[in-house]
Structure 1
Amino acid sequence: MSTLDRFLPVWIIAAMAAGLLLGRAVPGLDGALSKVEVGGVSLPIGLGLLVMMYPVLAKVRYDRLDTVTGDRRLMASSLALNWLVGPAVMFALAWTFLPDLPAYRTGLVIVGLARCIAMVVIWNDLACGDREAAAVLVALNSVFQVLAFGVLGWFYLAVLPGWLGLATDDLHFSTGKIVVNVLVFLGVPLLAGYLTRRVGEKRRGHAWYEDRFLPRVGPVALYGLLFTIVVLFALQGRTITSRPADVARIALPLLVYFAVMWGGSFALGRAVGLPYPRTATLAFTAAGNNFELAIAVAITTFGVTSGQALAGVVGPLIEVPVLVALVYVSLWLRARAHTRA
């Protein structure tokens, strides 16, 4: 694990601080960014979002889908946890903890719909999980997300609250716009990542692609994430500094979510008889979220300075240290199982 990845929480906190300082130093920054837009999205932020998505999807081994799909216990558990349990848990927590803050609540629901990719592979490696299984689950969830995100967004943001009698008069959004944003900010880098691997391996070979190309392009994802966080916090600075209690309220359901999803998934893996490596993979792919996509959807749908975008930005601040801590919990459980054996 590189120094860049190992100190990710430090870089994220530093990016947030830099953004706050930048927002204070350049009060007209939001107006400057809004002058350069494409389809209602600030061009600098849109490019930053695409940059942080592409390297992760270029790492996926698209040719190995069949190496794990034969494990029906793993596949069924992963799909159920990611697309049935995860969104429902986040929906319940968002409405429980933020009933009076609809913008933040919606942002959390979007985070819950953005399923595992990106940093999940790193957490899985640190916890000695099954690397190939993680790669396959990441690939499948990435493809499934392109197809399912818009439908689930419509269901959890518009349909289910009405069924449950929850007031949503203060929520206005376009389901079609969410679908378009997912297709752009996930579909485009997914296609680019697939074509890059296919063309790169065909022309230069697998060894060159894995050992030379990926190490060079990999850090770009983090640079894109940090750039986006700097700009977002520059625009959200006054809200953050004037409403620290709101930020704390966003953080609390996220803490509960990661603990519930990881703990429940790990217990399920053991209950269905998966070995430790695949149990760890199941737990981290179920608990980890694609906060890059969540930020992209929140920004392009609700605006850069929206409460939904702030909720998305708080996501990685909480997720990174929590999942690092869960890596150590996972390794402790692994050592304990070996001792008993």
Structure 2
Amino acid sequence: MTATTDHEAEVLGRLSVLDRFLPVWIGVAMVAGLTLGRTVGGLDDALSKVEVGSVSLPIALGLLVMMYPVLAKVRYDELGHVTADRTMLVSSIVLNWVIGPALMFALAWLLLPDLPEYRTGLIIVGLARCIAMVLIWNDLACGDREAAAILVALNAVFQVVAFAALGWFYLQVLPGWLGLDTSTLHVSMWEIARSVLVFLGVPLAAGYLSRLLGERTRGRAWYETAFLPKVGPLALYGLLFTVVVLFALQGDTITSRPLDVGRIALPLLAYFALMWVGAFALGHRLRMDYPRATTLAFTAAGNNFELAIAVAIGVFGVTSGQALAGVVGPLIEVPALVGLVYVALWARRNFYPADAPNDGGRPDPTRRTA
């Protein structure tokens, strides 16, 4: 077995069973949801009896459970340290909040001109910047863990402040300027802001308080080695639960138009590839070392599908095409970004030979990981 093959096995081995086979679990959740929707009558009415805003209580709980563990992992006390590297800070802001949303807007209109609901859903995905599993992919690719955590925290705070305004701009203002059809869009900035405040603001506050109180009472080592591993899987459980419910309610749409899922996947694949390669090339051009260039690339390419799903459901409803586009997102993102982990390690060997270990690509055991 070659050293490269050894490392590929090690990369997969560092993922938990739940993470490693996440596309499979999402597929199983989809099938389970479709089956549930066909066998349980009156499910839609039952789910809508108790609502949080315009979202049924079971789905709202699933969305909040998705978001909390991710935000509990962030080291909020280190957020201010990002200003020490102005090059990375400015590059990340431009990639995440200017180029990323604009690219997804362009791809959505280019590849889904006749599917306005899915197009809108993808634009919402483009606005929801990475705060979730990007930390896993960055770590597997031997990126800078601390820089990734700081950029994730920055994105989380920025989304609370800017998501609603950007959503209004890309869904209503910009299409109007370009002469594109906006007759199917009935979105207010307040509707988006309300969803962001509930489904990002609440878990963000909970995550911040968890770390603050946990570290004060038991210390950072206990918090990160004992508490976080216990609550971490809840994010994926919440995602799978939400997928089951969404597909239970989306069954008729999905089974009648299966090719739509494939069409939603195409702009997502193009987006991941273009954002990652472009960001990595920018980092290399700016003479960042491999860990920071890799972190810049993964934080630019990753998206917060949990928030996108929450906003799509809150604004357009659980059975909307916008919600379906958000659900398809993680099904495509997981294998795409795992593949980009291998691309990153290949790039390290070819473009950063000084940063690559001499064992064919395996991570350096002496590298600081805390």
Q: Decide which of 260, 264, 279 is 1:246's aligned counterpart.
A: 260
User: CA deviation digits over 1:283-340, x for unaligned, max 9?
Assistant: 0000000000000000010000001001111111111110111111111111223548
Q: 1:233-272 counterparts in 2 under 5 A?
A: 233-272=247-286
Change in CA separation of 1:189 and 1:204 when aligned onto 2, cut-off 3 Å: same
Q: 2:360: which partner in 1?
A: none
> Structure 1 residue 148: deviation in Å?
0.5
Q: 1:31: which partner in 2?
A: 45
Q: 2:97: which partner in 1?
A: 83
- Partner amino acid for 2:83? T
Q: 2:3: which partner in 1?
A: none
Gaps of 5+ in 1: none
Q: Equivalents in 1 of 2:353, 2:187: separation in Å? A: 53
3-state SS of paired residue (1:68): helix
Q: 2:215: which partner in 1?
A: 201
Q: Equivalents in 1 of 2:44, 2:23: separation in Å? A: 26
Q: 1:1-341 counterparts in 2 under 5 A?
A: 1-339=15-353
- Partner amino acid for 2:131? I
Superposition RMSD on alpha carbons, in Å?
A: 1.2
3-state SS of paired residue (1:171): coil
3-state SS of paired residue (1:143): helix
Q: Equivalents in 1 of 2:75, 2:66: separation in Å? A: 18
> Structure 1 residue 24: deviation in Å?
1.6
- Partner amino acid for 1:4? L
3-state SS of paired residue (1:140): helix
Q: 2:9: which partner in 1?
A: none
Q: 2:8: which partner in 1?
A: none
> Structure 1 residue 9: deviation in Å?
1.6
**Bigger Cα displacement from structure 2, 143-152 vs 33-42:** 33-42
Q: Equivalents in 2 of 1:205, 1:5: separation in Å? A: 27
3-state SS of paired residue (2:142): coil
Q: Equivalents in 1 of 2:45, 2:212: separation in Å? A: 41
CA contact (8 A) 2:290 2:352 kept: no
TM norm structure 2 = 0.90
3-state SS of paired residue (2:154): helix
More helix by share: 1
- Partner amino acid for 2:46? A
User: CA deviation digits over 1:226-247, x for unaligned, max 9?
Assistant: 1000100111111111101211
3-state SS of paired residue (1:308): helix
3-state SS of paired residue (2:303): coil
CA contact (8 A) 1:49 1:225 kept: yes
CA contact (8 A) 1:150 1:182 kept: yes
CA contact (8 A) 1:68 1:132 kept: no
3-state SS of paired residue (2:84): coil
Q: Equivalents in 2 of 1:139, 1:160: separation in Å? A: 28
3-state SS of paired residue (2:83): coil
User: CA deviation digits over 1:30-74, x for unaligned, max 9?
Assistant: 121112223221000001000110010000011112433211111
- Partner amino acid for 1:277? P
CA contact (8 A) 2:69 2:231 kept: yes
Pairs aligned (count): 341
Q: Equivalents in 1 of 2:94, 2:67: separation in Å? A: 24
